[in-house]
Amino acid sequence: MTAEPRLDATPNLDFDGTTPYEEYVRAWELSHLQEPLSDDPGEMAFLVTTQVMELWFTVIVHEWETAARALRGDDLPGAMAALKRSTYELQALNASWEPLAHLTPAQFNAFRSALGDASGFQSATYRRLEFLLGEKSASMLVPYEGAPHIHAELEKALHTPSLYDEVLRFLFRRGHGIPASVREREAAERHAADPAVEDVWQRIYAGDQHSDECRLGEALTEVAELVWRWRNDHLVATRRAMGAKVGTGGSPGVAWLEKRAAKSVFPELWTARSRV
C-alpha cells in the first residue's frame, strides 16, 4: 500500500554512501565522460550530441531486438509496443541534430582537426541498428579487428536474422506468400527487394486498413521514414559544416552520404504503394 503523502515532508537528504539516484543513473560518470580535444568552446556540443545520439542508438537497438524477439514468438502486441516506443525515440534522436545543424565551415574547422581520423562511420551501435533494418555487410566489421569485444558483438548481430527478416517470417506464418528463398536466406546477407514480398504488402495494403498486418506495415513505415530523416538531417548538417570536403573517416564526404541516404529501408513497403 502507498503511504499517504505528508504535506510538510521534504525529500530525503541522508544516505549511506552515494545517493540511490547516482547508483541507478550513474550521472556523475555520464557527466565526466567528456574530454574535448581542442580549446574551442563549440566542441563540447559536438561531443555531447554525439554521445547523446549513441545513447539513443542503444535504446533503439534494444527496442528493435525486443520487437524481433516478440515477432519470433508471434507476440504482435509486444512487437507493436516496442516499435511504437522506437518511433518516439527516433523523433528524440532526430531532434538532437539541432545543436549541430547550423555549424558554419569556420565553426566546424575550429575543432575538426582535433577529431583526427575519428568518424561516426566507426559507430558500432549504429552498425547494429543498420543490421537490424536488413542492411547487413560483413565488410563493416573490418574496422573492429583490433577491438575483439566490439567485433564479437557485431559478428553476432551480423548472423542474427534482422527485424525485417522476423517480420517476413511472421507474415508467412499468418498465411502470406513469403517465398522460401526469402524466409531461409543467409542472415548475414543484405536484404534485397523481392517482388513476391512486394505482392504481399500490396495485398495487405489493398485490404482491411485495420488488419494486424496493415498496422504492422504502418509501424514499420514510420520507422523507415524516421531513419531516412536521420540520414537526411545528417547529410544536410554535413553539407552545411564542410561542403564537399573529404570526411574525417576518409570517405568522399557528402557524395558518400548522399548514396547512403538514398538507400531504401524496408523497400517493398514503399514500392508496393504504387500498386494499391
Q: Please choose, out of 2-10, 29-37, 144-152, 240-248, the segment that lies near ligand HEM by the rule CB under 6 A.
A: 240-248
Select the residue interacting with ligand HEM from 38, 107, 109, 119 (CB under 6 A): 119
Number of residues that bind ligand HEM (CB under 6 A): 26
Q: Please choose, out of 63-71, 114-122, 168-176, 218-226, the segment that lies near ligand HEM by the rule CB under 6 A.
A: 114-122
Cβ 233 to ligand HEM, closest distance in Å? Answer: 10
**184: which 3 cell numbers?**
531461409
Measured CA to CA, the distance from residue 71 to residue 213 in angstroms comes to 12
Nearer to ligand HEM, 71 or 237 (CB): 237
Structural Rg of the chain based on CA atoms? 22
Element (H, E) at 158: helix 148-159
Q: Is 112 annotated as a binding residue?
A: yes
Least Cα distance to 183 among 70, 263, 194, 66 occurs for 194
Q: Please choose, out of 34-42, 73-81, 218-226, 250-258, the segment that lies near ligand HEM by the rule CB under 6 A.
A: 250-258
Q: 190 φ, ψ to 5°? A: -65, 140
Contact pattern for ligand HEM over residues 157 through 176, marking x by CB under 6 A: --------------------
Q: Which of residues 26-55 bind ligand HEM (CB under 6 A)?
A: 49-50, 53-54
Q: Please choose, out of 7-15, 78-86, 158-166, 256-264, the segment that lies near ligand HEM by the rule CB under 6 A.
A: 256-264
Range 224-252 burial, b when 16+ CB lie within 10 A, else e: bebbbbbbbbbbebbebbbeeeebbeeee
DSSP 67-111: HHHHHHTT-HHHHHHHHHHHHHHHHHHHHTTGGGTT--HHHHHHH
| 242 lines the binding site for ligand HEM (CB under 6 A) | yes
Least Cα distance to 196 among 178, 216, 181, 180 occurs for 178
| 237 lines the binding site for ligand HEM (CB under 6 A) | yes
Select the residue interacting with ligand HEM from 132, 143, 248, 269 (CB under 6 A): 248
Q: How many CA atoms lie within 13 A of 153 on its CB side?
A: 12
| 136 lines the binding site for ligand HEM (CB under 6 A) | no
Q: Is 234 annotated as a binding residue?
A: yes
| 229 lines the binding site for ligand HEM (CB under 6 A) | no
Measured CA to CA, the distance from residue 169 to residue 35 in angstroms comes to 45
Q: Which residue has the cell 518516439?
A: 88
Q: Is 149 annotated as a binding residue?
A: no
Nearer to ligand HEM, 184 or 189 (CB): 189
Q: Which residues are annotated as a binding site?
A: 112, 234, 248
Contact positions toward ligand HEM, by CB under 6 A? 49-50, 53-54, 100, 103, 108, 119-121, 123, 126, 234, 237-238, 241-242, 247-251, 253, 256-257, 260
